[in-house]
Amino acid sequence: MNTNATISTNNNNNMNTTGLNPTANGLLQAISGGGLSALEVVAASGDAFLPLKAAVVEALAVIGIIKQFKINKKDWAALSGSLIQKVEEIVQATCQYNESYVPSALQSNLENLKGILDHLKEDVIKIQQQNTWKRFANFRKDQEHIADFQVKLNALPNFQDHLSVEESSQASKSNVKRDVWEGPVMTEPNKDDMFIERRNVGERPTTTENIPQINVLTQGHHFQINDSIFYSANTININDNRELEAKIANVVEQSNVEKWLQELKAPSHGKVRDKCMPGTREDVLTHIKTWLYDLNEPNIFWLSGSPGSGKTTIASTVVADFHCFSGQFFFRRDEVELQDPDNLWRRIALDLALGYKDVRMSIAQVLEAQKANIRGFDISMQFEHLIAKPLQEVFTTSVEPLLIVVDALDECGSYEKLLPSLTSWSYLPKSLKLLITSRRYSDIQFSLSSVSVHCDLHTGHEISTQTSDDLQKYFIARFSEVTRLPPKWPGPAKVSLLVRKAAGLFIWAKSAMDFILHKGGDPEERLNIISAGSGEGIDAVDGLYHQVISVALQGLRKPEETALRLVLGSIVVAKNPLRTGDLKELLGVKDALLDSIMSQLSPVLSISDVNYLRVCHQSVTDFLLNSERSQDLWVDHELCSLRFAGYCLKFMNGKLKFNFFDLKTSYVLNKDIPELNDHIKSVKSTALDHASCFWASYLKKDCDKMLQLEVQAAVDEFLMVHCLHWLEIMSLMGTVNHAAQLLLLAASWSRDLKPNISDFANDANRFVMEFLEPITDAAPHIYLSALPFSPQSSKISMHFLRLFKKTFTVKMGQMEHWSGKCFLRLADHGSGVASVAFSSDGRHIVSGSDDKTIRVWDAQTGQSVIDPLKGHDSSVTSVAFSPDGRHIVSGSDDKTIRVWDAQTGQSVRDPLKGHNFSVRSVAFSPDGRHIVSGSTDKTVRVWDAQTGQSVIDPLKGHDSSITSVAFSPDGRHIVSGSDDITARVWDAQTGQSVMDPIVHDHCVTSVAFSPDGRHIVSGSIDMTVRVWDAQTVAFSADSRHIVSGSTDKTVRVWDVQTVAFSSDGRHIVSGSDDMTVRVWNTCQIVFSPGGRHIVSGSRDKTIRVWDAQTVAFSPDGRHIVSGSDDKTIRVWDAQTGQSVIDPVKGHDSNVTSVAFSPDGRHIVSGSRDKTVRVWDAHTGHSVIDPLKGYGDWVNSVAFSPDGRHVVSGYSRKTVRVWDVQTGESVIDPVKGHDDCVTSVAFSPDGRHIVSGCRDKTVGVWDSQTSQRVVDLLKGHDDWVNSVAFSPDGRHIVSGSGDKTVRVWDAKTGQSAIDPLKGHNDWVTSVAFSPDGKYIVSGSYDQTVRVWDAQTSQSVKDPLNGDGDWVNSLAFSSDGKHVASVSRDKTVRVLDPETSQTIMNPFTVSHLSTPSISSIPVSPILSIHSQGGNNISMSRSYKTSFCDCYDISLLKFCHLDGNWIMLPDDTYLLWIPDPNKSGLF
């Protein structure tokens, strides 16, 4: 409320006539803040109108009682708010009047209010006096009370009565003339308002005789009572009711406009730099001014020049001095907001809205229509809707210029994204002018040169006479400003020398003068230093910067010099500007030293008004980061970044603690914490802000090894001690998803230095992604909800849960493993995700959505790579990358196909048109030259990807919609699937059908070729996936899985035979020969090229990225041992497939290799946890301590023939031999390989060891001396994955990634027979039959082959029993059976004679894919069970987050989403989806 804008009068009688109270200013000012405090002021005031005061006191009493209620607190608080608002309205209206002249309508309302409040007070007292248990049991009864009370409040009479025409007519009859102060309602003056006369204080209005006058109170806080709006503090005269209605409507409209403009969330402009010195740059400024008023010139002016040539100073002068200036944006590379291209047009839109009423209304309408989701627009759409359309509507015929200034375009982080919209400005009316400044980059020049007036600020030898004169004026003016210098010093010669050295670079001139005239320095000595430097232009700039920093270093002790370099390097590499206080906290630099450093470096640094430090110009950063230019002052970006990461981590390790923000309760969400932002600011410094958000971004690999180890130690402490404390910070800051990405960066960085920490960081990422909702919503529930529900075997649970012993425990339904291995959640689409695809290099993901957009993501970090690709007019149904990753093709329900540049997001040609209905599927040919599309119009079309022309006639033959299309790997054929229940194969050159249709029992939803082109897979609504001979769905690039998409909003990933839909159509359950059952609910899934990751798109508007091994027979052939990624070893009955003992647990990471001892009594296992373990085969107990001889992964293990020793192969090129009894290493490590050892085995006599290696060689070693027996066996062209001796020890067999099996003479190392060829992919495992006559091999091609060891011929057809990669295999002791384990976690037993599977496959583990667990999922809390609760919680449970409560109160709880809510609607616990069933 503007209490200074009150009615002024010199006539008390006149005031009494109006009834307004001239003494009320004090009370009005006191209650101007509104709300509860205003009511308290009235209750305590001695000047308040007594009936009003009585009503207010009664209201406060009711509010005080309501505050004490613990049940339904939110609803009672809402009622209190409504009551406060209602009473405050009457207070505001009543306090305008003298007690004697309070309108009768208001007095009546006060009496009614008093009566209502009396009854309300009695009712709430009765409720308060109820027994607490009774209230818990009947807490929903409160809703009825509250609703009843609200009705009574709404029953108050209309407060508009006091504005009746009758009272105003009395004022008219008295013919009183009043002095009026009137101010504008909106922030900006409303020049076009025809309803109100604008008058100054003391100006008397002309009285209109016999016309009713209405006094409307304006310029203050407005409030609404029923349908009337009041403004307190000022009055204006309006002649009749129609004017009143129009004015009120206008005020409401303007208020609505202001509300929507706030949704632009526009950033600041960026600080405008100093103007040009008077009398300088007049030629350029005149050129700009001439262009500005010339409507025949292009409406874009491009001012280009070298760094430091004065572009920004000129732009600042235009902003300050040109009257037609209307908007500005100054880019800065060192500020996140001011380098973001997404911010430009939103800021310009706000500038225009503040300057032009009609533009403001137009932009507000756009925002309202989009429900303020303007951030969902890409840059071109922002320009079109916020800039182009509003300006074209308002300024179509205008001849007065309007000027927008965009400075330093080259400092925009991705300026290329802005070029299309900037060039589109040229289509606007010529009076709408755009001034752009930038460096002379070729792509900017290419875009702007044809649509702009171009002016280049020449430097070096091309400098103009005017520029030289301007520089001379600048130097003379700067010297003359210093009174301590001799008159006319340093003279014309020295000034001319400085002008030559500057060579048109004003940044050099400024920095040189700042250096020469530095306070405390000798100007003459410093001038001589500058003059002595050689070179001009950019060379002079380099020389100047070198001199300035070198002088700052002179005389410093070594620690001080180190500190200066540290400060300067940190400022240069910082992701966001740092404050001086941040540097003190993060770097530990003392105040005095930091102040001295800032002073010495002032010529190249600048400090903002709020103490943000940055280099004064981008050219300084360019100089420091270029080792050739900066020489001994070089800032090594990698080294400085890593060092700064260490400081960030050290700072956080010293600051972070449990419950960092001292939150008092866990019952409320972050957003509901009172005064949260103020509390956060009081606890958390900006230094902690910066460290928390960027620490992992500074981790760099290729630099000082000692520093890497030092920083790694800090990472260790941070993750192992403070990881959850840090998540508290990220939760309260609302950046939890960013936290997950930082953990991935840390995991990647630590992978080589410390794999166990890398694994921990990955596990922490999984923790965050699994519990993203509770961690984001409420920081305390990191400990209360997320941690207890984490898998007990997870690293995060095993490490941290033991520290919180008083939290609840899950008795039943504990998840065994992280669900689905989702490590990224991409959630910027505005509607369901219909299609996803990886780029060929696996680095990027493209997604298409029903929101009509395509988005491109970084597959590692989840960051959006470019702006959304917009152009389709309807849902995007299918997307794909070109084979080279440079282009993206998309199909849409708008009947078109579009091709996009994957780097810029721009459409590379006009839409491909020809289909008559929706395009359902698109794909590139393998060479990228053609595109195939399938449509609801029943046709398949082939297009030239370069020209967009159709290359053959439409392929016709289907009788219904085409659902899926794909090229064969050689590009010669196309397969199509259709709703007509068939799949067809076509010749891609002629368009002719090449085979009979493949027929399903229902609609075919997806089709694809296998990578070798030999098979076609088709998926159908008939619940089957079928594989067909193609010499007659997509295969993953590694052939491990089949993926299919469906019109029912689901996606299917298969290694299965049958499928079935859930009743709601949202899920598919699939059953497989591998004895697993899996449930899927995603919309589109594809594999990365390496097969290591899966990306899925869903109708929940998200994209998620997911992480996408060994067997041996016992000597008697009765049992099979298997090792798995779930860290367990399992022993199976070879006849029945049943597990004979509980899973053997002890390893902390993947089990990579297992073997039985010769007597069958023991099992040896190797793991990525760097240990070898020996187990009792009958009990599963460990028989000796883990063998920990080397700090790296164990890839292979084997027993010696006598069972006394174990050999193990490691990832770090070595082989070790262990004594099984003592656990001691019996010989020195075997060394000689150049890469990871993948497989090891003893010879039958135990005298030799054979090893296979990724260096493509096989080694044979003496098991007693570790010496090499023969030279390394060379012949393979890829990794050697598996090796074995023949039973007589005379031969060695090896399998390799080059798809071959080789047999070697063990004594000579020569190849014994020709390579065994037949596999189509990596050979992963090999073994001899017990009689030595046969060799068996397993491969990633999903087959097992049996070979004649003498002739190298395949003796049987491939054994195709494996539905996935074959990872490991073994012969039974009698040679009658072969056991294989696949990557789909199943073990199969095959008969090598018949090529048949002799028993059903059995599952090795329950790990990795979203599946129905082997243990039924139970809710954690069974409210209706008589056997007690499934939550086990100590009654002494009490932390600083959550108060102790009686467990029996849980019967009054209810479920809201995933939250268990207490009766008062506060938050008790978040539970995962699988645990919700049967809870309430």
Please tell me what DSSP assigns to residue 1393. T
Q: How far is CA 1047 from the centre of its chain?
A: 29
* pLDDT above 90: percentage of residues in the chain: 21
What does the alpha-carbon distance between residue 1022 and residue 933 come to, in Å, rounded to a whole number? 24
* Mean pLDDT for all residues in the chain: 75
Count CA within 13 A, CB hemisphere, residue 703. Answer: 19
What is the C-alpha R_g of the chain? 39
Using DSSP's 3-state secondary structure scheme, residue 443 falls into helix
Per-residue model confidence as pLDDT tens digits over 1083-1125? 344 444 544 444 555 555 555 554 444 667 778 777 878 887 7
Does the pLDDT at position 203 exceed 60?
no
Please tell me what DSSP assigns to residue 1058. E
Q: What is the pLDDT averaged over residues 860-873?
A: 80
C-alpha pair distances (Å), 1278 with each of 359, 756, 1257: 67, 28, 9
Place of tokens 């109100």: 196
What does the alpha-carbon distance between residue 1039 and residue 159 come to, in Å, rounded to a whole number? 76
Please tell me what DSSP assigns to residue 128. H
Structure tokens of 369? 């229509």
CB of 1259 closer than 8 Å to CB of 1298: no
Handedness of CA 1280, 1284, 1286, 1290 (dihedral sign): positive
Read off the pLDDT band of 1398 (50, 70, 90): low
C-alpha pair distances (Å), 108 with each of 90, 94, 150, 155, 1168: 11, 12, 20, 13, 83
Give the helix/strand (H/E) hosting 354: helix 344-355
What does the alpha-carbon distance between residue 458 and residue 284 come to, in Å, rounded to a whole number? 12
With b for 16 or more beta-carbon neighbours within 10 A and e for fewer, the 328-345 pattern comes to bbbbbebbeebbebbbbb
10 Å CB burial of residue 703 (0-12, 13-18, 19+) is middle
Q: What would the DSSP string read from start to end of 644-692?
A: HHHHHHHHHHHH--TTTT----SSS-GGGSTTHHHHHHHH--HHHHHHH
pLDDT for 70? 65
Read off the pLDDT band of 102 (50, 70, 90): low
Higher pLDDT, 1289 or 537: 1289
Using DSSP's 3-state secondary structure scheme, residue 1397 falls into strand
Place of tokens 């008159």: 487
Q: What is the pLDDT averaged over residues 982-994?
A: 89
Does the pLDDT at position 209 exceed 60?
no
C-alpha pair distances (Å), 1328 with each of 121, 381, 1153, 1426: 92, 66, 18, 60
pTM listed for this prediction? 0.48
Higher pLDDT, 1005 or 239: 1005
Return the HEC string of 739-762: HHHHHHHHHHHHCCCCHHHHHHHH
Residue type, 263: E
Give the helix/strand (H/E) hosting 932: strand 930-935
Please tell me what DSSP assigns to residue 1161. S
> Which residues are CB-neighbours of 385 under 8 A, at least 6 positions away?
366, 370, 374, 377
Read off the pLDDT band of 16 (50, 70, 90): very low
Q: What would the DSSP string read from start to end of 499-526?
A: HHHHTT-HHHHHHHHHHHT-TTS-HHHH
pLDDT for 534? 57
With b for 16 or more beta-carbon neighbours within 10 A and e for fewer, the 564-603 pattern comes to bbbbbbbbbbbeebbbbebbbbbbebeeebbebbbebbbb
Other residues' Cβ atoms within 10 Å of the Cβ of residue 221: 17
Which candidate, 1057, 1031, 1052, 1032, places its Cα nearest to that of 1042? 1052
What does the alpha-carbon distance between residue 1073 and residue 1382 come to, in Å, rounded to a whole number? 12
Q: What is the pLDDT averaged over residues 297-323?
A: 88
pLDDT for 1032? 38
pLDDT for 1093? 47
CA end-to-end distance (rounded Å), the chain: 50
Per-residue model confidence as pLDDT tens digits over 385-442? 889 988 888 887 777 889 999 999 988 878 888 999 999 999 999 999 999 999 888 8
CB of 974 closer than 8 Å to CB of 941: no
Does the pLDDT at position 17 exceed 70?
no
Q: In residues, how long is the chain? A: 1480
> Which residues are CB-neighbours of 397 under 8 A, at least 6 positions away?
none
Does the pLDDT at position 253 exceed 50?
yes
Per-residue model confidence as pLDDT tens digits over 1346-1377? 888 888 888 877 776 545 677 777 777 777 77
Handedness of CA 309, 315, 320, 321 (dihedral sign): positive
Q: How far is CA 964 from the centre of its chain?
A: 31
C-alpha pair distances (Å), 194 with each of 180, 190, 199, 683: 18, 9, 13, 52
Strand partners for 1044: 1052
> Which residues are CB-neighbours of 448 under 8 A, at least 6 positions away?
300, 302, 419, 422, 423, 436, 454
pLDDT for 1189? 64
Does the pLDDT at position 1051 exceed 60?
no
Q: What is the pLDDT averaged over residues 235-263?
A: 63
pLDDT for 1399? 52
Using DSSP's 3-state secondary structure scheme, residue 1273 falls into strand
Place of tokens 């708008």: 894
Other residues' Cβ atoms within 10 Å of the Cβ of residue 874: 14
Which candidate, 627, 686, 611, 599, places its Cα nearest to that of 651? 686
Torsions phi, psi for 939 (to 5 deg): -115, 160
CB of 64 closer than 8 Å to CB of 121: no
Helix pair 523-532, 538-553: axis angle to 10 deg: 140
Which candidate, 612, 469, 615, places its Cα nearest to that of 548? 615
pLDDT for 642? 93
CB of 1058 closer than 8 Å to CB of 1071: yes
Which candidate, 1324, 1344, 1347, places its Cα nearest to that of 1335? 1347
